[in-house]
Every structure is written in structure tokens, then in C-alpha cells.
Chains A and B, each alone.
Chain A
Amino acid sequence: MACATPGRLHRSHRRDRERRPAPRRHDRDGRPRHPHHHGGRTRRGVELADGRALRAGTVVSTADLHHTESALLAPEERSYPEKWWDKREPSPGALLLLLGVRGELPSSRTTPPVQRGLAGELRRGLRRASAHSRPGVAVRLPSQRDGSRRRPGGGRRTSSCSCRYPRTPRGGAEAKTAGATPPSSVPRTPSSPRSPDGAASRISRNGSSSAARSPGRLRSRLPRVARKLARPRAHAASERDVPPPQPSKRVGRAVVRGVIRAPRHRPAHVPHLRELVAKGLRGDTSPGPLPEPSGRRTDVRGLYLAAILLSTAGVLALDLRLRLALRPAPLRTLAATALGTAFFLAWDLAGIAAGVFVKGDSPLWSASTSHPPPPRGARLPRLPLLPRPRPHRCRGACRAPERRRGAGA
């Protein structure tokens, strides 16, 4: 797993560039070129600013193309001149990948909650990252503490900048390595030759004298920027019309946003990227897409009840066949069993009410619920939820003493 923030990628692969000519990274349509087409150049991974080298067979920048080209790649490695970018409108490509990690993309305003949700995963993933870690997928959000991306006096002037928001530190350098994906790939790595100073000078050439606002503030005004910059018909409706922010409500740990009702405002999502990230997060290094869920899962609901009923039937059969208790003294046996059942039922109910017994969330229950355990004194669950009907289990053995008694009588 290799991860890097934009600032930390700056120093990577200088040595590589000195040795060999730079290849083109993307084809005309802006798609990354196949790793095979890199002129035999070998990339070994990402070298971070702090000197650590993250080895990887393939390094894919999941930042948007503009950011990758203009901020991460060396000038001689770029595919597009600056003029080309001036005619483009931004689309939230990088955001789509990030948002695809967790559920859908209701609106561009979801960035903060998604980041919140991702923070734990990222921290875990980054902690695991090492020079020789298995190839995987890591997504890195822009570092808020990365001083190289923050300029004193940045302030407001950047907001009037004509540059697209992907160029801002917002774009992040999501370096994603998936070494196992192309089996015979020539590894490649987006190098980031541009020093912070170089980046600053280039942006100021474009009319903004300061390179960046702080990432936090920028993030907060992203939706507005995206709406403003969206040009009619430049993109599909789902990308073009950034829906207005919607009230969110908290459900457990997840933040659920309102439903977008207009049919044309379906949230955009990138399924295959989502799968990739999901695979990486679960440590799956196998090539190809996520495996389909294997067939129908066996329905085990009610298995517990079935086991109890089966045991009862077995006890009953033995009892009748061997004339243990029910045949010699049917009334007495039924009465004793009923009293015993009532006794253990009372025990169970008391335990539930006291909170000593908590129903688990096993799929074996007839009615699988994920309700929290009933609070003290709560209404008792219905019959299928009753815990541990133990009297069933012991009836056969309980009768054993009676047999001799009955036989002797």
C-alpha cells in the first residue's frame, strides 16, 4: 500500500527522471495509459518526502487528471499544455472515487461526512503501510497539516482565481497502488517533480498570486465552487447539477442525507473504483473485480426453534416408546412438565428483565432482529424471541427418575 499527500509526493522520483526520458502518462482522452506503454521505464514505487519508499508494482494517482498532471507530474511528463486545461471545466472525478468508498454520493456536500467516515480507515491503512507491504489500495485525503501546501497570506485572493478547484490542495494526491492488477505490468509511478515553489510560481502565472487556501476552508466552499463552475451541457446531468445541500440526520454512526427525488439527479458513482477501494480496504489483493456474492446464502432463520422442536419430538418419541413417564402417568407427567416449564420461564423472564440475559443477534433465531437488548422492565418479546426454552432440553432426563418410580408403583 502506498499513500501520499500532494505535498509529500513532491520529492519523489527525481532520480528516475534524471536517468530516463519521461513517458506520456495519459492518452488523448485523458485515460491513464496502460502500464505496458511506458517505454520500458521501470517504476518501483513512491518515494515520500520523509524519505520513506513505498514499493508497489503500480502506482495510480486517483487525484483528478488535472491535479495529477499539473501538480504531481514533471513538466516534461505532462500530456497536455496549460492551454488545454483552460478550456476545460472541472468535474468532481477525484471526489467520486473518495465518495464511492462509503455508499452513494448524494451530493458534493457529502465530502465532510465521508471524510469523517474514512478517517478511521485511513489511519488504520496508513499505520499498516510500509515499504514492502502487500499491494493494495489506499486513499489519502489532503493533509491538513501539510505545510507545503499552505502559504501565508493565501487568504481570499485564491477564491477569485480562475483555476479549477482540482488544482487546489483539495485535489489531494490519492496514490493508489494495485500491484497485482496487471500481472505483467511494467510498474509505473506518478512522479511529482514539482517543488512547492514551482507550483506556486505556476499558479501565480495564472492570475492568482497565492497558491492555496487552507484545505479546511477550501473544502467547506467546494460545493459552491462546483455549482458555479458547472456549465450547462458540459457534463451529464448527474455530474452537472450539483444538488443543493440537504439536511442530514444521524442514524447510529452513519450520516444519512435526504433522498434526491428528481430522477435526473441520481447521484453519480463509479462502481468499479468503488469495488477497487473496497477490495483494498479489506486487504484483497486478487486481480479482477470483487467476487460476486456466492449464490444464495443459506437461510438459517428458525434453526434454533427447529432444533428445539426436533429435540422435543425426540424426547417424546423415546418417552412413548420406552413407556417412561407419559404413558404410565400422563396427567402427572404433563403437570410436572408444565410446572417445570413455568419455573424456568419465570427464571428466564426475570433474567431478561434484569438485563442478565441478552438476546444475541444470531441468524438462527426465527425472527432475526438487531434490536438492542430490552431494557429493564421492558415489554417482553414475543414467543419466537424467548431466550433459552431450557425445559425442553431436560425433560427426558427429568423423567428418568420417574420411570423407576412408575415401574415400581
Chain B
Amino acid sequence: MSYALLSLPFIAVTIGVTAISAIRPGIRRRLATSAIAAIGLVLLTAVFDNAMIAADLFAYPPQHLLGVFIGRAPIEDFAYPLCAAFLVPAIAALLPVRKNA
């Protein structure tokens, strides 16, 4: 199974949860903030993913990859920061807020 295929369900979950979080107020602002956070996270990923791969902490067998790399990091790896930036705030928005908060 390729990395991209593996990532698909997780990206789908992220999109779904983010879409559902529209029922909570402030979705536009949340999406905008998530996008800014995503940019920062992607930049950090580009730096540290390369560092971690260069340190041989983990490796990606090339037969599973699309073949597009940012340095040493496969392009698929950047699904992580994107999902993180959108999914976690969406989850937080969907969780019930305590009355006294």
C-alpha cells in the first residue's frame, strides 16, 4: 500500500470533522487560524522531518512513495501538519464547553 493511499482515510476524517465543526460558531475564523497554523507547521515539518530522516530515525521505502520530495522528506509527509492544524482545533470546537469556562 502506498503512503498516499494510507493517508487517504485520515485526510478524509480530518475533512469530515472539520466540516462538522461548522455547526459551532466562528468556523471562518477558525479555518483562517488553522491555515496560518498549517503554514507554520508545514515549514517546521520541512525542516525537522528532513533532520529526522537525515538522522536515520526512520525511513520510507521508495516503492511506497509518489516520488516528490522536499529535501529528503516525501511530499506525503506534509499531510500530517495539515491534518494536525485543522483536525485538532475542530475537535476542540466540537467538544462541549463547560458552563463556567
Q: A333-B92, A397-B41, A409-B101 are in contact. Are A340 and B87 (CB under 8 A)?
A: yes
A85-B22 Cα distance, complex, nearest whole Å: 98
A119 within 8 A of B: no
Q: Given the complex, which residues of B lie within 8 Å of A325, measured CB to CB?
A: 92
> Which chain A residues lie closer than 8 Å to B12 at the CB level?
none
**A-B interface, 6 closest residue pairs, ranked by CB to CB distance from nearest:** A360-B56, A401-B33, A336-B92, A394-B84, A398-B88, A362-B56
Q: Are B60 and A356 in contact (CB under 8 A)?
A: yes
A394 touching B7 by the CB < 8 A rule? Answer: no
Seen from chain A, the residues whose Cβ lies within 8 Å of a Cβ on chain B are 304, 325, 328-329, 331-333, 335-337, 339-340, 343-344, 346-347, 350-351, 354-362, 364-365, 387-388, 390-391, 393-395, 397-398, 400-402, 404-406, 408-409
Sample (20) of A-B pairs whose CB atoms are under 8 Å apart: A332-B97, A332-B98, A336-B88, A340-B87, A340-B91, A346-B10, A350-B6, A354-B1, A354-B6, A357-B58, A358-B59, A359-B57, A360-B53, A388-B52, A390-B84, A394-B81, A394-B85, A394-B88, A400-B37, A402-B89
CA distance A409 to B6 in the complex (A): 38
| Contact across chains for A398 and B37 when beta carbons are under 8 A apart | yes
CA distance A117 to B84 in the complex (A): 50
Chain A: which residue is nearest B1 at the CB level?
Answer: A354
Quick check: A336 and B84 within 8 Å, CB to CB? no
A356-B33 Cα distance, complex, nearest whole Å: 31
* Closest residue on chain A to residue B24 by CB atoms: A405
| Cβ B88 vs Cβ A356 within 8 A | no
Q: With an 8 A cutoff between CB atoms, is B55 at the interface?
A: yes
- Supposing A344-B80, A358-B58, A409-B97 touch, asked if A397 and B40 sit within 8 A by C-beta, the answer is yes
Contact string, B64-101, partner A, CB cutoff 8 A, digits 1/0?
10000000000000001101110111011101111001
Residues of B within 8 A of A360 (CB): 53, 55-59
Task: Assess whether A402 is in contact with B64, with CB atoms less than 8 Å apart.
Answer: no
CB distance from A94 to the nearest CB of B (A): 41
With A336-B95, A343-B13 known, 11 other A-B pairs at CB within 8 A are: A304-B55, A329-B92, A340-B88, A356-B1, A356-B6, A358-B58, A359-B59, A394-B84, A401-B30, A401-B33, A408-B26
- Are A331 and B60 in contact, with the CB atoms below 8 A? no
With the chains together, A395 CA to B98 CA distance in Å? 21
A361-B56, A362-B57 as given contacts; A332 in contact with B92, CB under 8 Å? yes
Q: Is B13 touching A387 in the complex (CB atoms < 8 A)?
A: no
Interface residues of B in 30-46 (CB under 8 A from A): 30, 33-34, 36-37, 40-41, 44
* Contact between B60 and A357, CB atoms less than 8 A apart: yes
Of the residues A337, A356, A388, A393, contact of B3 by C-beta under 8 Å = A356
A362 cross-chain contacts in B, Cβ below 8 A = 55-57
Measured between beta carbons, the chain A residues less than 8 angstroms from B101 are 328-329, 332, 406, 409
> Hey, which chain B residues are within 8 Å of A361, CB to CB?
56
A390 CA to B2 CA in the complex, in Å? Answer: 20
Q: What A residues does B92 contact at CB under 8 A?
A: 325, 329, 332-333, 336, 402, 405
| Least distance between B73 CB and chain A CB atoms (Å) | 12
Distance (whole angstroms) from the CB of B37 to the closest CB of chain A: 5
Give min CB distance, A361 to chain B, whole Å.
6
Cα A346 to Cα B58 with chains together (Å) = 17
Enumerate chain A residues within 8 angstroms of B80, measured Cβ to Cβ.
Answer: 344, 347, 390, 394
Minimum distance in angstroms from A155 CB to a CB of chain B? 54
Q: Tell which of A351, A388, A394 has the most Cβ of chain B within 10 Å.
A: A394
Q: How far is the CB of A28 from chain B (nearest CB, A)?
A: 56
Contacts of A335 in B (CB 8 A): 91, 95
Q: Which residue of B lies closest to A325 (CB)?
A: B92
| A346 partner residues in chain B, CB cutoff 8 A | 10
